[in-house]
Amino acid sequence: MIDQAIQPRNYLSRVRGVALLPEERVARVFSLEEGLLDEPSSNGQLLIATTQRILFFRGDGRAREATLLPVEELKGIVVDTARKGTLSPLRGILTLVAALAFYLVVAYWMAGQFEGPGIPGINMDFVPFILLAAVLVAAWLYWRHNVRRAGGKVTLQGSNWNLSFSVLGAERIPDIDDVVECLFKCRQNRWDDLLKPQPWHA
């Protein structure tokens, strides 16, 4: 008997083109971008806990990757929550301000050195505009790789496999905890089903 806390979704028979097995039911749907969902989304990274398997999907609508793992092989789950990245948000903002200050100094110097075509509508020469775009892109990439919102890294450990993914946002941590609890309940119920005596057929 499946624990009611798992709350299996009986109406699903297929998830992103992957057919569910006989008597397999979806217990949790977790989107890395949106958190817990009532039903699977068509895009993005998705972790599905079923009564028999762990389904993990990566995809953007054009190319998709599906990982299917037996839930009874789950040995452990590591959840590493992070409050911040390698660079604090305040230092990230100061870095952005410094980048803009650098741009203003260089653009001011360039304005007196070069005469170039202007950008219609914004009263800016073409070369300083390209420099501004390059500085903003570099600052955004620096922010993205060095300033991280609170969230966590989750690693599912199996008999001979590991499945890792990162989740951003402190509001996702309770969802992660709920999915972890559900996965262990599904594994226990799966083992109980596998260990039941099977009726003998002549």
**Tens digit of each residue's pLDDT (9 = 90 or more) over 80-109:** 876 555 555 666 677 777 777 777 777 666
CA–CA dist 158, 98 (Å, integer)? 46
Please write the tens of the pLDDT for every residue from 152-184: 788 889 988 898 888 877 677 788 888 889 999
First to last CA, the chain: 27
Q: Which two tokens stand for residue 104?
A: 């203003």
Q: What is the pLDDT of residues 38-55, one digit of tens each?
A: 888 888 888 999 989 999
Residues 124 and 55: beta-carbon distance below 8 Å: no
Quickly state the pLDDT bin for 124 (edges 50, 70, 90).
low
Mean pLDDT of 182-191: 88
Query: Which residues partner with 177 through β-bridges?
Result: none
3-state DSSP helix/strand/coil % of the chain, to nearest 5: 40, 30, 35
